[in-house]
Homo-oligomer: A and B are copies of this chain.
């Protein structure tokens, strides 16, 4: 077991590092919605955001600069300020006594740092040294659906293609898609800064950097993080991660091969009972998960469930989740809730 001692209290001092970003904003919404027991709320960001005012439960909070001294008296520090800032400042937060839940990729594959999706491996969270990593958004959305299927039929291989929304790349990237849309409608030139190419009316098969084997880092996260979260290094995941012109919520076409056959009916039954999952699978009524309708929802929605016609023990389905909520802020807050319960 890790050596970090978390002390239960009635209310907690909570810091948010990266409070002005897309995930930061969602942290605040969710803390408010879930009435998280907060004593002091400290909003931290880079120097250029200092002095900005952010509303929380009707009160104004001033953004302070994220420094090594930011965490005195903090019980829980939620980080979403990029991997380099997590690497730099998370150890200071732990030293100050805070439990860090980090949304970046900085610590996810570190041996001594748990990588947690509460519906899948809640127990792992308690074996920590002060830092708990929040997985990649696309991976979280997939594993909440994989977990009940793996428990029943043992998954051997996953082939997944993603349809990832613009806000997965941050608030400014989402704004770029909206700005491109307005510019197109006015017949004005379309500006490209945050994405590699124009996203409006396009799809871009490139998320995060390329690695030596031809997969992107985002695709390799789905391979590596799925194994760590599921606690099974025999699961293999091949992913193609693609950006699509959607504002919020990621979609994924998932095809799995299992050791034991899972019928479509059995899959529907297992997924219906699974925590964090909603089955929306009524093709005769044109009902299946779509990002436009899943955005803003907490659960991951699964539909298009069918037995794979190309593989004896194959199953294929479609899962959609709000990547700012379950894919990021909500999952991190659910991890914190494991400790305060």
Contact = CB atoms under 8 A, between A and B. Distances in A.
Interface of A: 157-159, 161, 163, 181-182, 184-186, 196-198, 201-206, 210, 213-215, 223, 236-238, 240, 242, 244-247, 251, 253, 255, 264, 283-284, 286, 288-292, 303-311, 314, 316, 318
A291 B185 CA distance: 19
A17 to B, nearest CB: 30
A244 B243 CA distance: 11
Contacts of A198: 292
B201 A246 contact: yes
Copies of chain A in the complex? 2
A214 B244 CA distance: 25
Given A182-B185, A286-B206, A310 B238 contact: yes
A328 B159 CA distance: 29
A159 B314 CA distance: 11
Interface of chain A: mostly helix, strand, loop or mixed: mixed
A304 B207 CA distance: 12
A283 B206 contact: yes
Contacts of A304: 205, 214, 240
Contacts of A161: 161, 240, 253
A253 B237 CA distance: 15
A75 B286 CA distance: 43
B247 A291 contact: no
A253 B198 CA distance: 20
Contacts of A288: 205-206
Contact of A159 (B213, B255, B303): B255
B247 A201 contact: yes
B196 A185 contact: no
Contact of A242 (B196, B215, B253, B264): B253
Contact of A286 (B186, B196, B237): B196
B223 A240 contact: no
A264 B206 contact: no
Nearest to A214: B306
27 contacts: A181-B184, A181-B185, A184-B185, A185-B186, A197-B290, A201-B245, A201-B291, A202-B246, A203-B251, A204-B290, A205-B251, A205-B303, A205-B304, A206-B283, A213-B306, A214-B264, A214-B304, A214-B306, A214-B307, A215-B306, A223-B309, A237-B310, A238-B310, A240-B253, A240-B304, A244-B244, A244-B245
A240 B238 CA distance: 16
Contacts of A203: 163, 244, 246, 251, 290-291
